Amino acid sequence: MIPLEQHQLEIQKNLRAWKAKPLLQQIYAGFYQQIIALIDRQMPGRIIEIGSGIGNLKQHLPEAISTDLFANPWLDIVCDGYDLPFKNESLSHLVLFDVFHHLEAPNAFLAKAKRVLKPNGRLILFEPFISWSSHPVYGLLHHEPVALNERINFDHSFPPPRDYYAAQGNATRLFFRKETPSWPEQWNVFHAQAFSSFGYLLSGGYSKPALYPASCFEFTELLDGALSHWPRLFGGRCLVGLSPR
Contact 4, 67 (CB under 8 A): no
- Residue 8: the pLDDT is 77
For residue 179, what is the domain's CATH number? 3.40.50.150
Distance of CA 58 to the CA centre of its chain: 15
Round to whole Å and give the CA distance between 204 and 37: 26
Rounded to whole angstroms, what are the CA distances from 190 to 6, 108, 208, 209, 244? 34, 21, 34, 36, 10
Round to whole Å and give the CA distance between 41 and 44: 8
Contact 93, 45 (CB under 8 A): yes
Q: Work out how many domains the chain is built from and give that number.
A: 1
- Residue 143: the pLDDT is 87
Neighbouring residues of 20: CB distance < 8 A, sequence distance ≥ 6: none
Cα torsion 120, 84, 185, 4: sign: positive
* Domain enclosing residue 139, as ranges: 5-244
Cβ count near 192 (within 10 Å): 15
Distance of CA 124 to the CA centre of its chain: 8
Round to whole Å and give the CA distance between 74 and 103: 23
Cβ count near 16 (within 10 Å): 11
- Residue 3: the pLDDT is 53
Contact 188, 110 (CB under 8 A): no
Q: 228 in helix, strand or coil?
A: coil
Contact 207, 143 (CB under 8 A): yes
In order along its 245 residues, the chain shows pLDDT tens digits of 345 567 778 888 899 999 999 999 999 999 999 999 999 999 999 999 999 999 999 999 999 999 999 889 999 999 999 999 999 999 999 999 999 999 999 999 999 999 999 999 999 999 999 999 999 999 998 889 999 999 999 999 999 988 889 999 999 999 999 999 999 999 999 999 999 999 999 999 998 899 999 999 999 999 999 999 999 999 999 999 999 99
